Homo-oligomer: A and B are copies of this chain.
Amino acid sequence: MSGSATVNRGVVSPARALDPLFRPRSIAVVGASRDPAKLGHVLLKNVLDYGFAGEVFPVNPSGGEILGRTVYTDLRSLPQAPDLVLLSIPNRGVPGAIRDAAARGAKAAVILASGFGEMGGDGKALQDEIRESGLRLLGPNCMGVYNLPGRLNATYFWELPRREGNLAFVSQSGAYGGLLFGELRRRALGVSVFASIGNQADITHADVMDWLEDDPRTEVVGLFVEEIKDGPRFLETCRRLARTRAVVAFKAGRSGAGKRAAHSHTGSMAGDYEVVRAALGQAGVVVARDTDEFFDALAAYCAYPKGLSVGKGLAIVTISGGPCVTAADAAEEAGIPVPELKPETQARVGALVPEFGALRNPVDMTPQCDPERFPAIVAAVASDPQIGALLAINVGLDRPQFGAAFAQAKSTVPVLAFTLDVPQIQKTFTDAGIPIFPTPERAVRAFALLNRGNGARIAAKSAPAIAGTPLTPFESAKLLVEAGIPMCRQIVAKSIGEARAAALRLGWPVALKALQAGPHKSRRGGVILNVTEKGLPAAWRKLAGAFGSATVVQEMVAGGGHELLLGARRDPVFGPVVMFGGGGVWTELIRDVAVHVGALTAAEARSLIAETKAGDRLAARLPKAIPAVAKALAALARWMKRHPEVLEVDANPVIASAKGLKGVDALVILDDPLTRSDP
């Protein structure tokens, strides 16, 4: 039953490799303390209080008894090999304890202490040291592991939800674990597994996901991600898991200050955010934009783990006015139809609500409506052929029939809710598995997230500067032709005579460019367009005077084409990334660029093109250019894979016209071994 595709450690299948962590038969708690204020006491108490069924061995050099248990003075003196060792001791003591644990036959350890990779220097050395142990390690700098069906609370959290659920949560940040548990409590949701993975010295998001793939109680997986270790494997694991589970991710550390903070507190190197979003989207992961959306999406998928399919519209049903206006606004903004109900439906509803009720959708039954009629009204709305889901809204009018009406309707149609100050209804909804959101807009956006298809891609907003060695435009263009992108013909000229000869070969008029002027050369005067035979002497003098006599003569491309950008770069986490978008001023002004991680098929290239406004424009005005662009993008991706020395490629503008594709300007940046910093 295990996913045996990626066995990465010893002979144990990945799905079973973390059993000693999640399902240990025995646990040693190193640093167990008598003092209830100490975390070493909390940890031991948590293990005992949550009903762990196996052996528990407190370890502390002072011996004696804690919480009624015999304390062992060191790991080596334990009466049996512990499956799992929890280390609640300061950083410098950890390597010795890990050695002892390995010597005593332990299989896994959780290192809760800070002071490792996240602080650099000595801490990094400590982290490297513990990595050698052969044990599977969770942490360091983490909050531990919780497996509710296994009755295992090996965390510092003393108030974890005891309601079993279908949600597993993998978090680099311990504090986001705290946030999650707060949300679960408020939303009356349960959990299956929680793992705080901290610095990921050994166990990564992907390792935990491998294990979760065989966990039958987990239907939804939440990932709080700062650093991604081994991008390709991470993605592959996401892709595999997303086939059978809803996977929802939130990526932090995307800004300069955010990365600074991420670095300091978990020692992470954050990948480029837009690339991460694109990569996760391609892998079928739902990517949340902020904390609220993250928890809203988790709550929505806990209720509907398979998601919901688009197609039909949303009916908004209320007895309390105002918020349904806001919900309708949010639906329009999210592209969710809120169709006017069929006349038959309106007639059925109209026969049941007061004359000042609203029938069209949103449906306002009004506070004066006889509550006994709610079920019939809601059923009528739910049966309208245009309606695929219901949004129930209620502020402060706690009529039990309102709850019952939607709980009943949920057997035929998905229901989401925004409610406030209606404890009876909230209980009915929770028992019926109807998710409740804190505002009308958030309920609607959660519905949109449930509708999001796999592979949703994100348009890239920015391409950060990459260190390395830029080639000249002339050298760059030569490489791009090799990479499969047709470029304007160009010839280097060192004198006005050579320039004239080149122009005769290319055909007048030509463009004259300084060979070495660098990027933005057109603004700085390094390019003169439309040079005629007559104008050559003046143009030559101007250019050579400013930039020297090394010049490129280039054929002119006729006006009226579409300016495109075709590019690629090498992401430190995910490898080659191909980009497509509007070129020329479009790039500068609207950053109309979409990205794709890794190789791409012709179909994927076409869908990448279709994500951009430049692609919309091509489709409308020059559809026959699309196969050529798709082919060039696929070729570029293959070329990037063959040339690991290339960091970045930027062909911009590439002019698409009835005559085909022609790149006008190009920049290739090669990796510079001298400036490369090993992470």
A→B interface (CB under 8 Å): 91, 114-116, 118-119, 122-123, 141, 157, 171-176, 178-179, 182, 224, 226, 252-258, 260-262, 264-266, 290-292, 316, 320-326, 328-333, 338, 340, 354-362, 364, 366, 368, 395-396, 420-421, 438-442, 559, 585, 589-590, 613, 616-617
**20 residue pairs A–B, Cβ–Cβ below 8 Å:** A91-B356, A116-B356, A173-B322, A176-B323, A178-B320, A178-B395, A178-B396, A226-B322, A252-B325, A253-B325, A253-B329, A256-B328, A258-B325, A260-B362, A264-B357, A264-B362, A290-B330, A291-B439, A589-B590, A589-B617
Contact partner, A329, options B172, B254, B292, B356, Cβ 8 Å: B254
Contact partner, A115, options B256, B264, B356, B358, Cβ 8 Å: B356
User: Which B residues are in CB contact (< 8 Å) with A262?
Assistant: 325
CB nearest neighbor in B for A589: B613
With most chain B CB atoms within 10 A of its CB, the pick from A316, A322, A338, A559 is: A322
- Beyond A178-B320, A252-B326, A264-B360: 8 further Cβ-contacts under 8 Å? A123-B355, A226-B322, A254-B332, A255-B332, A261-B324, A261-B362, A265-B322, A266-B321
Q: Judging by beta carbons under 8 Å apart, are A321 and B173 in contact?
A: yes
- Least CB distance, A271 to chain B, in whole angstroms: 13
Q: Judging by beta carbons under 8 Å apart, are B361 and A321 in contact?
A: no
**A368 CA to B331 CA in the complex, in Å?**
46
- Least CB distance, A37 to chain B, in whole angstroms: 11
Q: Judging by beta carbons under 8 Å apart, are A360 and B260 in contact?
A: yes
User: Which B residues are in CB contact (< 8 Å) with A253?
Assistant: 325, 329
Q: Judging by beta carbons under 8 Å apart, are B320 and A364 in contact?
A: no
Instruction: Give the 3 A-B residue pairs with the shortest CB-CB distance, closest first.
Output: A173-B322, A264-B358, A255-B332
Q: Judging by beta carbons under 8 Å apart, are A179 and B323 in contact?
A: yes
User: Which B residues are in CB contact (< 8 Å) with A226?
Assistant: 322, 325
CB nearest neighbor in B for A290: B441
**A252 CA to B361 CA in the complex, in Å?**
16
Q: Judging by beta carbons under 8 Å apart, are A368 and B589 in contact?
A: no
- Least CB distance, A453 to chain B, in whole angstroms: 23
Contact partner, A325, options B261, B321, B326, Cβ 8 Å: B261
Contact partner, A178, options B175, B179, B362, B420, Cβ 8 Å: B420
> Given A322-B173, A331-B255, does the pair A316, B261 have CB atoms closer than 8 Å?
yes
With most chain B CB atoms within 10 A of its CB, the pick from A116, A224, A325, A359 is: A325
> Given A292-B441, A316-B261, does the pair A224, B115 have CB atoms closer than 8 Å?
no
With most chain B CB atoms within 10 A of its CB, the pick from A157, A256, A290, A354 is: A290
- Least CB distance, A89 to chain B, in whole angstroms: 12
CB nearest neighbor in B for A250: B326
User: Which B residues are in CB contact (< 8 Å) with A91?
Assistant: 356
Q: Judging by beta carbons under 8 Å apart, are A175 and B115 in contact?
A: no
**A645 CA to B628 CA in the complex, in Å?**
51
**A115 CA to B353 CA in the complex, in Å?**
12
Q: Judging by beta carbons under 8 Å apart, are B421 and A257 in contact?
A: no
Q: Judging by beta carbons under 8 Å apart, are B355 and A322 in contact?
A: no
> Given A355-B119, A442-B292, does the pair A172, B322 have CB atoms closer than 8 Å?
yes
Q: Judging by beta carbons under 8 Å apart, are B182 and A291 in contact?
A: no
User: Which B residues are in CB contact (< 8 Å) with A119?
Assistant: 355-356
User: Which B residues are in CB contact (< 8 Å) with A439?
Assistant: 179, 290-292
Q: Judging by beta carbons under 8 Å apart, are B252 and A329 in contact?
A: yes
User: Which B residues are in CB contact (< 8 Å) with A172?
Assistant: 322
Contact partner, A175, options B261, B320, B442, Cβ 8 Å: B320
- Least CB distance, A155 to chain B, in whole angstroms: 12
**A368 CA to B320 CA in the complex, in Å?**
49
- Least CB distance, A388 to chain B, in whole angstroms: 15
Contact partner, A264, options B330, B364, B368, Cβ 8 Å: B364
**A329 CA to B362 CA in the complex, in Å?**
36
